[in-house]
Amino acid sequence: MDSVYTSKNPAAGHVFCTLRPGVFCENVSLYSIEVGMKNNIVEKINRWIDKNKDLFGGKILCSGIDPECARHISRLFPASAVVCLEPSRDEGSGEKTDDRAGEGSLSGPLFLCGDLKSYEGGKFDTVLSLGVAPLRPLQPGDSFPVWKRGTLYLRRASLLMDYYEEEVHSLQKHLRPGGSLLSLVRSEQDEYFLGYCLAAAAEGLAVDTASVRQISCMENGEKQVLQGFTAMEGGRTDISALLAGNLNYSLDRMNTAAEELQGRQAEVMLQADIAELIRGYHLYQGESFKGKLAVYSSAQRQDVIYYFTDVEGDQPYLRRFHEGDRDKVVRHMVGELHRQKAGDKSISWKQLELQDDWSETEL
């Protein structure tokens, strides 16, 4: 069944539905090796900067990065004016934190206390940003999107897009027309990262889908995963390519021929090959939403259908069946509803209509 996920366009890959081994030297202390390991995030980011050096212009704004990364940029582009925003220890914004000869000097970066939202330094040719907090917060606030079980991958990304737009706008507003954004965020390549990229597209940034890179590094003794991408101010993003690239990253690391998948793999596989809702139900326990059971057709094969469940207490589950078993699969799903009710009289369900299904998403 691998052919189900092979694009007619080979360049597109899968189809989206519509301390190296240590070399110890005599004069190198263990402490220095440990420090290097803990701080190789700077080295990794500098390498990423080097690979994208053609995108840097005469005025460069940096935010969230280590000061050494800003100095690296100044060394690469000695004729450019580099401003690096750092968190202020007090409430004063715009306070200089270095002793350069003056703001007009191009001998090194100018470090200022402040953040992107409050900074009013005009437009720049290039903005380089590293997000301080992970896109998926460990303790989400009240304003963070909440979705019910069974909400499909793309719909979740759409909700996250709305949430991240304000953060992305704080980057976009500092770019001149045609300027370049180099963005690093703390995230896996998942629906959170997809939502962030969609927010960039909504803010009028043309995301270069081919530029997406994952950077694995160490920071303060902890493993970090960053996603990096570049974008141009004043353009349009190829949304189809963006969605395909995001899903294909996961599909390439999955056994797409497996008849059964669980957890995140089930959600990714379903979104990648979903066509139409055949039959589905929302499950309730009293007034509380408990989950979703649904049967979908395949976008790639007319002879394939999917049975999907995401019910409280269990992982999302996906199983592939032959189209000829459609009636049997639907009967099994209805039987599962009755089995749930037999064990708990407060269980009820409501049949899904197309407009009720969270797979319907406009971007």
Name the CATH code of domain 39-251 (choices 2.60.40.10, 3.40.50.150, 1.10.10.10, 3.40.50.1220). Answer: 3.40.50.150
Does residue 250 surpass a pLDDT of 90?
yes
Compute the distance between CA of residue 216 and CA of residue 192 in angstroms, rounded to an integer: 17
Interstrand relation of 175-186 and 124-134 (parallel, antiparallel or unpaired): parallel
pLDDT tens sequence across 24-33: 333 333 333 4
Does residue 18 surpass a pLDDT of 70?
no
Compute the distance between CA of residue 31 and CA of residue 241 in angstroms, rounded to an integer: 45
Res. 342 pLDDT band, cuts 50 70 90: very high
Provide the whole-model pTM. Answer: 0.84
Q: Where are the domains of the chain?
A: 39-251, 261-351
Q: Which residues pair with 296 in a beta bridge?
A: 277, 306
Closest by alpha carbon to 291, among 321, 333, 326, 328?
A: 333
Backbone angles phi, psi at 188, to 5 degrees: -75, 170
Average pLDDT over residues 239-266: 96
Res. 307 pLDDT band, cuts 50 70 90: very high
Count other C-beta atoms under 10 Å from residue 47's C-beta.
13
Does residue 124 surpass a pLDDT of 90?
yes
pLDDT tens sequence across 79-121: 999 999 998 644 443 445 553 434 434 579 999 999 999 999 9
Does residue 203 surpass a pLDDT of 80?
yes
DSSP 3-state assignment of 134? strand
Compute the distance between CA of residue 233 and CA of residue 57 in angstroms, rounded to an integer: 13
Helix ranges, 181-281 (H): 191-202, 239-251, 263-273
Average pLDDT over residues 188-202: 97
Contacts of 177 (CB under 8 A, 6+ apart): 233, 234
pLDDT tens sequence across 343-362: 999 999 999 987 666 544 44
- Measured CA to CA in angstroms, residue 363 lies from 143, 156, 161, 181, 201 at distances of 21, 12, 10, 22, 10
Res. 309 pLDDT band, cuts 50 70 90: very high
